[in-house]
Structure 1
Amino acid sequence: MKISLFGQRNHLGVGTFFSELSDAFKKFYYIGKYIEEVDPFDLDKLKSAVAQSNLDDINIWFWQHPAIKSAKGFNICWAIFESDKLPQEYLANLYEYADLIWVPSLWASSRLYFL
């Protein structure tokens, strides 16, 4: 089993969430050794990570990406959206890709409207 975090370290909001969650996971003795960061913009690494995924893996995606459909394991989308409601089309697309949707704050989760 591995926990793959698909995102990119950068100074944007999503990059900050990605970096901080990845760093926090790596500090845990029992799961830190299973963490793998994958930059979806590095297509060779993305293809390799998806090809090597297993049914017992956990994949956390920091934005919707077509490769999610090919990744084996439990797929989680981290939905970052700066509004008071996630649009129905956006949610429908996330539900098509993911087994679970996370939102990064109480503010966002209290405003998550399901289909």
Structure 2
Amino acid sequence: MPIELTESEFHATLADKRRRLILRCLQESGTPLPLSTLADRIARYEFTGPSEDDQRAIRISLHHAHVPYLEDLGIISYDRDTTRVRRGPNFEKLVACLESPTVTTPRTYQPSDIPTDGRRYG
């Protein structure tokens, strides 16, 4: 049975690029993925020609931070014996938010976006 997610949990989850990529990878695969496969796919999204160090760093961040966070919220489930990540009871709620035209991804500002004449930006 899904747990009820707070609005801040929704926003905190969707605000993180790597967590959005986890959701996207699981949505695209349609089946549970080994953690190593998930890390490799995310590395290809984040880097052009990811190195083994890139993949290892992503696998570590998934294992120690992102997967436990998403599992605690019921968004994914993780089988430690098989190291497979699968959709949890709250998965579809988050994916629906990702696909909603009213949900926007936080904007990343580039140095050229910052006004030099004292104006505010946003």
Q: TM-score range by the shorter chain?
A: under 0.3
Identify the structure with bigger relative contact order (alpha carbons < 8 Å, sequence gap 6+): 2
Q: TM-score, normalised by structure 2?
A: 0.25
Q: TM-score, normalised by structure 1?
A: 0.26
Q: Give 1 or 2: higher helix fraction.
A: 2
